[in-house]
Amino acid sequence: MMRTTLRKSIGPLAAVLVAVTAWLGLVVTPPDRDQGDYVRLVYLHPALAWVALYVAFGMSAVCSLLYLWKRTRSLRFDRLASSAVEVGVVYTLLTLLTGSIWGRPTWGVWWTWDARLTSTAVLAVLFLGYLALRRVPAEAHIRARRSAVFALLAAINVPIIHFSVIWWQTLHQGATVLNPNLSPMIHGLMAWTLLLSFVAFTLLFAWMVMVRYEIETRRADEDEVGMAAAIADRQAEGIHS
């Protein structure tokens, strides 16, 4: 009940915040001196990347760990991990798409073999592999164990992506907000709009994960009911014959 109320309130709130971000980003904030209107992608691309790389895959790693830990083992964590990855893959693909659109005018190419771009693309493929692995028919706990191990192995890639712009010389700029000095190199209304975009897209992610989790839970319940009905049918057949 509480979960439903939370889901129903987060959805509209996320929608409102995304709309306000769009208004501030497209109408109110000024264009950049060098990049012109292309700078408005800053209110979309970093927020998508933040959710994809840190929130979604971080959540899948934590939930996978909780599933593998005997004391906290529950299929709820497996469902949460898979929901986070599903939405995370969408965010990762959108991150790559918006990055590519931004890269064309600033770097002159749609794609470059830059460390961060390449490692993000590899991460997207890895988690598509996770989703493929989940579709292999298996008993719920077997599937959960395999998926949890794979999610943890894949999560190793996340710190590599984060530090790739520091370790290797790349075209991609370093962190603007979460830089090593923790001093944001952006100010005024642009900074607040950027911050709002992070909140809005994180809430949108949370809402999508909750919806996906609910669908997974109902599917699992339905499978259980179906199994119970099939057993009852077989038993009835046994009695009659």
Partner 1 sequence: MWRDALLIARRDLTIELRSKVGTWQILPFGLMALFLFAFALGPQTELLRTAAPGLFWLAVLFSSILAAQRSLNIEGSASTREANRLLGLDPAGVFLGKAVAMALELLVLEVVLLVGVMLLFHVTIASWLFVVPALVLPALGLSAAGVLYGSLAGGASTRSTLLPILVLPVEAPVLIAASKSLSRGLGSVTPDAGRWLVVLAIFAVVYSVLGVALYGPLEES
**Closest distance of CB 123 from partner 1, Å:** 8
Q: Does 16 bind partner 1 (CB under 8 A)?
A: no
Closer residue to partner 1 (CB): 17 or 124: 124
Around Cβ 38, how many Cβ atoms within 10 Å? 15
Smallest distance from partner 1 to CB 234, Å: 25
Output 132 or 182, the one with its CB closest to partner 1.
Answer: 132
71 forms part of the interface with partner 1 (CB under 8 A): no
Could you tell me how many residues of this chain bind partner 1 (CB under 8 A)?
Answer: 16
Q: Which of residues 73-112 bind partner 1 (CB under 8 A)?
A: none
Please list every residue from 130 through 169 that binds partner 1, using CB under 8 A.
132-133, 136, 138, 141-142, 145-146, 149-150, 153
Footprint on this chain of partner 1 (rule: CB under 8 A) = 122, 125-126, 128-129, 132-133, 136, 138, 141-142, 145-146, 149-150, 153
